[in-house]
Structure 1
Amino acid sequence: MARLFGTDGVRGLANGDLSPELALSVAAAAARVLAEHDSSHRPVAVVGRDPRASGEMLQAAVAAGLTSAGADVMQVGVLPTPAIAYLVGDLSADLGVMISASHNPMPDNGIKLFAAGGHKLPDTIEDEIEAAVGAAFSRPTGAGVGRIYDISDALDRYLAHLLKSLPSRLDGLRVVVDCANGAAWAAAPQAYREAGAEVIAIHALPDGENINDGCGSTHLDGLREAVRTEQADLGIAHDGDADRCLAVDASGEVVDGDQIMAVLALAMKESGELAQNTLVATVMSNLGLHLAMREHDVDLRTTAVGDRYVLEELRESNLSLGGEQSGHVVLPAYATTGDGLLTAMRLMSRVAATSSPLAELAGVMTRLPQVLVNVKVADKAAVATSDSVSSAVAAVEAELGDSGRVLLRPSGTEQLVRVMVEAPSHEMAEAAAQRLVGVVSSVG
């Protein structure tokens, strides 16, 4: 049987494989596991969601599950995922539940759990919760049944936290923000305005069905056009639950997560905030980021793909900045998870403080052309151990030298091998990738 919890909680087609019955059962199991680990008090959970229509149904089911197992629920409404993580700590709760499928299409939804302090749940606790899903238990009655409370100042608490993290105000900046008709629709424009920016919000009218629909961080054309039309200094794009951030400069050029990390790393090095003079990224970050950090004497550590691995390295090594090319950026001094609003505010603060255009700041890093091909194979393990594949990779690496990079990565869930090549030109990257695809296909 497949594991219920994926790399980012429980996800699926809402009212299909992610049914209200399953949501209720997962929530009840989480409350029971928490109570088993600490019986000194009644568990308290913060519950929020993004605006997709199924979130209303699933929130009701999650609240019912938690209270049926004796936990109290603090409902905070539609807020970004990082706001839920922050509020778990700020409200001294034992658990956080975010109902969202992030950048997925509207019909999907998900349940993401946070431990006390707003940290991701350890795998061992997730395993205990999964084992308890659907199991019979002694239900509390009378005063033992949990209660539900609405927290009216949840957004204000989160915004105050964001503003405290700001190195300098955003006065004078004109910014377009694409809220993806998602969880950031109210929080992001208000946060940026309170920080001093002039804000033009687009895709900020969620109706339950239009989340991520041709907008947000996975569809940047609308933002690029709006930045040019509005003659803005820059644009910010969030995904459905606002745990990520991408940017667009004044000319409409995309500034991706690698470039954002490069800008923030140098700013933090200058201010003395960059712990151990080190940035953490995944193996998928562009070689241009490696070269830029090397040029500016910043160490770059790489992890497996996934923000959870970046988080693990940051926490274990007491580091202060890490993230992914996709725009998930983590600043542990201010957040326990990726926070797109925090990232955007730190980026805009750097623009305002230096009076430098975003294009100039992002120019510290040159993105090398990258070609990524997913190759279907019969046996990805055979590819990983193949001498002919190793020889082909070594030959391409020798040709590219320090000006390019090769990465072969088996999929964690499918019989696929991802072939990635970076080179000085797209033509060189494409040619090298196709050579490797041919060898991988012949072996796998």
Structure 2
Amino acid sequence: MAGKLFGTDGVRGLANAEPMTPHTALRLGMAAGRHFRRGDYRHRVLIGKDTRLSGYMIEPALTAGFVSVGLDAILLGPMPTPAVAMLTRSMRADLGVMISASHNPFHDNGIKLFGPDGYKLSDAVEAQIAADMDEVLQVGERPTGAELGRAQRLEDARGRYIEFVKQTLPRGFRLDGLRVVLDCANGAAYRVAPTVLFELGAEVIPLGVEPNGLNINDNCGSTRPERMQEEVVASGADLGIALDGDADRLVLADEKGRLVDGDQLIAAITRIWHAQGRLAGPVVATVMSNLGLERFVRGLGLDFQRTSVGDRYVLERMRESGANLGGEQSGHIILSDYATTGDGLIAALQVMALIAEADQPASAVCHQFDALPQITRSVRLNGGKPLEQDAVKAEIAAAQDRLGPDGQLLIRPSGTEPVIRIMAQGEDAQAVEAVVAGLADAIAAAA
């Protein structure tokens, strides 16, 4: 199973189909539990989930796997992914698990793993765990009797995370007078996010806070922010926030309802942190980030580095280079002074603090550069391998020539969905549009 189970962000797929079956979840729990059993003490794993119906299926299967190899399982219930990372480290657990397919529709689910330090596991560790899943423990190797683990719920998990998030702001700082539309995507933050903003004094207009197991990310959240944008304008709000299903990423809308993506958020934080002397190391983004962001950062005299797609790769580069700010255009913003992974709520608070301190509208603070024309499109796969076809290769070569040396073209299989993602950007909007349309047609014909 090595090399096939884990994608760019854990395990993900259609719930109750491989690899997201109770059987595979059980084996994954056993293999991960064995991997992190080190030392002679009671080992613990924290398990959180979002609001998907299939969480009721995956959670007990994982729990059984961990308990069967001697780990005590602490169940958090619906909690954001960054909350699981934080609590894993805070509670000195050996392992953290989040059951979520992030921004995917409800019928998918996924499993993300965190080490005892609160960071996502490396590719090498994931590969080892996947390989160990094929190992069958003999009777004499299995814990029995009192050596089996136990399972219990952590009743105050939400309160712990709420206080942690609030403490990322200066003591006494309040958001009084700020009217905020908050879209929680009917996902993992539907309770904690409104509570945090309310306790800090903001007037909250909540959206996407009525999960039913089937409506997570359904016409709401960071991938479908249109309703949030409309509500900002209709209610006269100062800004809008849209989280995704597990609340590790966000997008904003300014007071005019204009969308603010992850690139603009990174730029806003970069400018002010640099001026305040708070910025450390380079600014780290991915190959998907707009060229306008790179030019903006370099224009400040700062280093800008790109990584492969995935917040885990951004974080790895940040740790290597000593950076404290990085993220993705999609809204994964990593502020390593506060968190070990992307945290949509913490990032939102930091931007809201910048707006409050500047005493300017969100439109003035959050739009720092003019983005170059950029188009991203996904083409669904039907089992084929279009990127290996000669016709597609020829179309790619022609597209690169048309964009020229200052343009950028990225074509890659998604690590979370059965699609090919196409991204093109450059100075000429018509050329970018034509390139993406031609590539999408060629790939679809070969898919």
TM superposition score normalised by structure 2: 0.89
**Cα distance change, pair 437–188 in 1 and its aligned pair in 2 (3 A):** closer
**Cα distance change, pair 419–362 in 1 and its aligned pair in 2 (3 A):** closer
Amino acid in the other structure paired with 1:147: R
2:404 to 397, 404, 409: 397
- Matching of residue 421 in structure 1 with residue 425 in structure 2: yes
Offset at residue 382 of structure 1 (A): 6.8
Structure 2: 5+ residue stretches without partners? none
Amino acid in the other structure paired with 1:361: V
**Cα distance change, pair 380–305 in 1 and its aligned pair in 2 (3 A):** farther
Structure 1 residues 329-368: Cα deviation after superposition (integer angstroms, max 9, x where no partner): 1111111111111111111111111111111112211122
Amino acid in the other structure paired with 2:247: A
Report the equivalent of 1:312: 316
Report the equivalent of 1:300: 304
Query: Contact 2:183 / 2:206 at 8 angstroms: preserved in 1?
Result: yes
Q: State the secondary structure of the residue aligned to 1:235.
A: strand
Report the equivalent of 1:199: 204
Q: Distance in 1 between matches of 2:197 and 2:289?
A: 28
Amino acid in the other structure paired with 1:203: G
Query: Contact 1:31 / 1:66 at 8 angstroms: preserved in 2?
Result: yes
Q: Give the share of equivalent positions with the same residue, in percent.
A: 44
Counting only pairs closer than 5 Å after superposition, residues 423-438 of structure 1 correspond to structure 2 as 423=427, 426-431=429-434
Amino acid in the other structure paired with 1:208: G
Report the equivalent of 1:32: 34
Report the equivalent of 1:329: 333
Report the equivalent of 2:187: 182
Query: Contact 1:380 / 1:410 at 8 angstroms: preserved in 2?
Result: no
Of 373-382 and 321-330, deviating more is 373-382
Amino acid in the other structure paired with 2:194: P
**Cα distance change, pair 218–408 in 1 and its aligned pair in 2 (3 A):** closer
**Cα distance change, pair 440–216 in 1 and its aligned pair in 2 (3 A):** closer
Offset at residue 383 of structure 1 (A): 8.8
Q: State the secondary structure of the residue aligned to 2:222.
A: helix
Q: State the secondary structure of the residue aligned to 2:103.
A: coil
Q: State the secondary structure of the residue aligned to 1:302.
A: strand
Query: Contact 2:392 / 2:443 at 8 angstroms: preserved in 1?
Result: no
Structure 1 residues 274-316: Cα deviation after superposition (integer angstroms, max 9, x where no partner): 103x211111111221222233333211111221211110011
Amino acid in the other structure paired with 2:307: T
Q: State the secondary structure of the residue aligned to 1:312.
A: helix
1:144 to 144, 147, 150: 147
Amino acid in the other structure paired with 2:228: L
Q: Distance in 2 between matches of 1:89 and 1:429?
A: 44
**Cα distance change, pair 229–434 in 1 and its aligned pair in 2 (3 A):** closer
- Matching of residue 170 in structure 1 with residue 175 in structure 2: yes
Structure 1 residues 175-229: Cα deviation after superposition (integer angstroms, max 9, x where no partner): 0100000001001111112222111111101111111111111111110111112
Of 347-356 and 287-296, deviating more is 287-296
Offset at residue 409 of structure 1 (A): 3.3
Offset at residue 385 of structure 1 (A): 8.9
Q: Distance in 1 between matches of 2:179 and 2:294?
A: 31
**Cα distance change, pair 226–39 in 1 and its aligned pair in 2 (3 A):** same
Amino acid in the other structure paired with 1:136: V
Counting only pairs closer than 5 Å after superposition, residues 61-210 of structure 1 correspond to structure 2 as 61-137=61-137, 138-167=141-170, 168-210=173-215
Report the equivalent of 1:7: 8
Structure 1 residues 82-109: Cα deviation after superposition (integer angstroms, max 9, x where no partner): 0000000110101001111111111111
Q: Distance in 1 between matches of 2:248 and 2:422?
A: 25
Query: Contact 2:52 / 2:213 at 8 angstroms: preserved in 1?
Result: yes
Report the equivalent of 1:47: 47
Query: Contact 1:172 / 1:352 at 8 angstroms: preserved in 2?
Result: no
Q: Distance in 1 between matches of 2:443 and 2:122?
A: 36
Counting only pairs closer than 5 Å after superposition, residues 187-336 of structure 1 correspond to structure 2 as 187-276=192-281, 278-336=282-340
Offset at residue 422 of structure 1 (A): 2.6
Query: Contact 1:275 / 1:320 at 8 angstroms: preserved in 2?
Result: yes
Offset at residue 410 of structure 1 (A): 4.1
Query: Contact 1:169 / 1:352 at 8 angstroms: preserved in 2?
Result: no
Offset at residue 439 of structure 1 (A): 10
TM superposition score normalised by structure 1: 0.90
Amino acid in the other structure paired with 1:141: T
Q: Distance in 2 between matches of 1:300 and 1:142?
A: 55
